[in-house]
Structure 1
């Protein structure tokens, strides 16, 4: 007889669960969740990030405020983390380290990195103090180091968060496409889509808006008038009585240019003899419809005011906004007792940095038009009866001046003297002269005996020149980032950091890939916030340049020192 075995009835909840298939968890899904949602820091990324972070505290050309140093350190650390993560990914293609190896690596990093950062903070504070003293600036407070660390960690964390969100987006797109295409194709597509969207957002929302905002802001600024600037009562100034140029069309910098000349009494007091009222002429963007028309308008203004009857005619290629350093113009007027005619012309109202990046053709066209028009009128005069023709350019203005002439030989023949301050890395003639310098001379103070061209890393060098006068003088402070910045700093050690250093470049500065590029880029921001003779600040140093090129008869070094002291006051 068969025994009936009665089992307990199955639990209803269990029965229901058994009829529902368990969700399938693919290895890919697990990896994505672990690597994106809950992933920690990369050991190689953390190590290289710490190294870059420490290197960011090494000195550069100019001292940095504490908050800017914090941003630089955080940004540099983020770059190091990205590079380290990429290296780690490449290594794992060949060899996947065990958990034990990772634990040992993390232990070493946790033990060494804090000590390394503390040492670099201490050294960085000391380097910044020494650099500020070298440039004649007040040292920062010791507690600024703590604020620097806070800003750097905030910057690093923000950049890491953005990177993680972008990575999460790429993986999300890859998971959606994984049902249609192979995994490797899905991940490549996700990366490409996120990259293109990020670039489009950055270029369209950030870059375009910043440029538009800067453009509008500069336009509003250009339409204003500086404090204390009023329409001139002299017929020898553009915008004054009888002028062919309307006062309102000059722009802010043009109005500054024509009104801030020294008074006749001031000129006479310095020269200790009778002086003349200087001529200053300018054309703004609204003064005529294009660069050729504006240049022609300037020449007609010169004929109207008798500019070609003066001892000196000087053409100034301004910076992006149309600004011309008044110390440079005034120094020439004091030197000649006002027997001068100075002319300039606006080509943009954007700062030089934006003009340089966006459109250099404007400065080239403007410089060629104005220099060409004045030169042609001057060259048509009898050699014995025409004034000295001098040309000046600063920063972006040096680029426009060089492009106008094309070669160093044409610059030498094209005027009685050309003074260029703070040339940019893109200047073709400057590059050619530096590359062909005399053997044994330095990049920051090259010698080029084949032509009457003189370089000066410090203005006082020009006081001891012997032999014939130079026809072209380059003034380039050895700590001027405008001169020494270049994209090649990313991967190539520059000549100015090899061998003998410039007079105001600290011997503690060294080249590191990527790091030195970012440091020098940041130096550009504060290039005008240092004392005269350092960074991109030349001002009264132009007196030495003019004296070397075209000083009047009887001019002495004592006169140079006296004029520089007057301008510095």
Structure 2
């Protein structure tokens, strides 16, 4: 143990204090003497390579007791439940990240305490380390066991049977590796700061050099992460997924009907629709299939679509999609749906198929692609493209719709899932705009940053929960965890245009926000939703990373949970469309047709 309470085989020189950036001797940030001499007080040429600590010791191999306590506390908290089941690899990753954050916080608080007390670092007694090892061992075992219990409970709650015992056992090893890598990264950044501060001391005082050095390094790290790193990752993802976009799914062939984009006489070439666009225009039920399910005559649904390669920009793609919609006779149908896609151009088949079944095929749907990236990546880097696409497409449809005689206009609906709901919202200014310019709206799994969704949720009526809010007595906008049940407030009128948000309490897309780092949200503070464990609690830093870890796997759970809304659309559209003569038996047959049961 060194003179500052750090664990290490080799005694560190005074300049390598092991207290993570705090010089207990009051010297310069580089760890040398105030006069700028060598750490040991000798000349520049003193010492040899054998006496210097290795890079591993400098960046990973030295630990402080306050930092270790912080790492232990947050690592144990990482085993608490979040919204979705968590596999062994993910738990190890999460544990390592939170432990690294806890270590940094422990070191920082210790440094602040020493600064307030105006005293140098004191060595930790061997007994203190012994207490830490004993308590830490018991705490980690207890947290691991409790974590497995919670994961069993949440899997049972959602009907998840997958369980990889090997990865669960390996999770502590994964956590240690991640922790050490992050600690090495942090100490590398600290080393850069010290070198810069030492250099700056030649021109400014030591305190000023320390402040300027930290600011410069912090800005540099931010620029690298937010600029170079994210830009590079985005470009790599775009390149990778653009390759898939240029392919055609197995068994998918160009339409033989002019009622679909890419078919005969279409204004949109088949090979420009993209992977998801081609699946969209060739999918869905035929008139015969609709008739067989609902038991009455049906029309052949119309689907129009423009891919990224179909036109040069968002406005041009929207105009092309609407032109092709008009060519196919879309404005002559009784029901017209404007569907905003997710990032890759994907449209949940259940969202449109159920609309076509309930309207007996007397419908037209128009959509367009705005990115190559999957929704969860677009969620982070492509929000502006979703905003432009949603606004441009609806405006193009609405402009054409307004030109029609009032008695010849189709009923106009809007829908979107996930990032598609974000794009769909951007065409509207609020509740009255949705009510006045549409016949109905269905949004599923809205991201937490959706402007209107946030406005409605935060402005909810007193007494209603964030997980199922009631907005202005539900006169226009309502929220449902389960659209098959009564949509609250069931005792209030819901006349005219109906706007419905489908949102599962366990959907991380709905709840993820940077605010989770420092503030407890209402949806955790309140009574939890039906598919969220009561044991879920908010913890600074930890909950943010738990919900972040849930995001990529949000669709990998059974329907009715997470970000999986396939089974919700039939009841959702039934509530919005209010079709005459639709029975529960009809809805069950439609649902069976969608799920293949």
Misfit runs of 4+, over 6 Å: 31-35
8 Å CA contact retained: 1:462, 1:545 = no
Q: Which string of whole-angstrom CA distances, capped at 9 and with x for unpartnered residues, describes residues 4-28 of structure 1?
A: xxxxxxxxxxxxxxxxxxxxx9587
Closer, same or farther in 2 for the Cα pair 1:299/1:191, shift >3 Å? closer
Counterpart for residue 109 of structure 2? 87
CA distance in 2, matches of 1:526, 1:236: 36
Q: Which 5+ residue runs of structure 2 have no aligned equivalent?
A: 1-31, 42-51
Listed one character per residue, the Cα deviations across residues 394-436 of structure 1 (whole Å, up to 9, x for unaligned) are: 1112122222111111111211110011111222211221122
Q: Pick one of 100, 115, 129 that aligns with 1:78.
A: 100
2:537 counterpart of 1:513: no
TM-score, scaled to structure 2: 0.85
The residue aligned with 2:24 is: none
Write the distance in 1 (CA, Å) between the matches of 2:509 and 2:562: 8
The C-alpha deviation readout for 1:233-259, integer Å capped at 9, x for no partner, is 111111100111111121111111100
- Aligned residue in 2 for 1:68: 90
Partner of 1:453: 477
Is 1:558 equivalent to 2:558 in the alignment? no
Change (3 A) 1:431 1:54: same
Which protein shows a greater Rg? 1
Unaligned runs of 5+ in 1: 1-24
**1:85-484 correspondence to structure 2 within 5 Å:** 85-93=107-115, 94=117, 96=119, 102-138=125-161, 140=163, 144-175=167-198, 182-188=205-211, 190-192=213-215, 194-195=217-218, 198-199=221-222, 201-202=224-225, 206-448=229-471, 449=473, 451-462=475-486, 465=490, 467-469=493-495, 471-484=498-511
Distance 1:187 1:439 in 2: 50
| Mean CA deviation greater in 188-197 or 388-397 | 188-197
Name the structure 1 match of 2:594: 567
- 1:146-191 CA-partner distances (Å, limit 9, x unpaired): 2111100111111112223333343344455656654444545554
| Alignment pair present for 1:59 and 2:81 | yes
Higher helix share: 1
Q: What is the CA–CA distance in structure 1 between the aligned matches of 2:556 and 2:206, rounded to whole Å? A: 54
Q: 1:76 to 1:278 in 2, by over 3 A?
A: same
Q: Which piece of structure 1 moves more, 34-43 or 494-503?
A: 34-43
- Alignment partner for residue 489 of structure 1, among 508, 516, 520? 516
- Deviations 1:312-339, CA, capped at 9 Å, x for gaps: 1111011111111111111111222222
Partner-residue secondary structure (3-state), 1:344: strand
Distance 1:404 1:74, change over 3 A: same
Mapped partners of 1:144, 1:39: distance in 2: 26
Whether the 8 Å CA contact 2:445–2:510 is kept in 1: the answer is yes
Alignment of 1:533-544 (within 5 A): 533-544=560-571
What is the aligned-residue RMSD (CA, Å)?
A: 2.6
Question: 1:474 deviation in Å?
Answer: 0.5
TM-score (norm 1): 0.89
How far 1:105 moved relative to its partner? 3.0
**2:4 paired residue number:** none
SS at match of 1:273: coil
SS at match of 2:426: helix
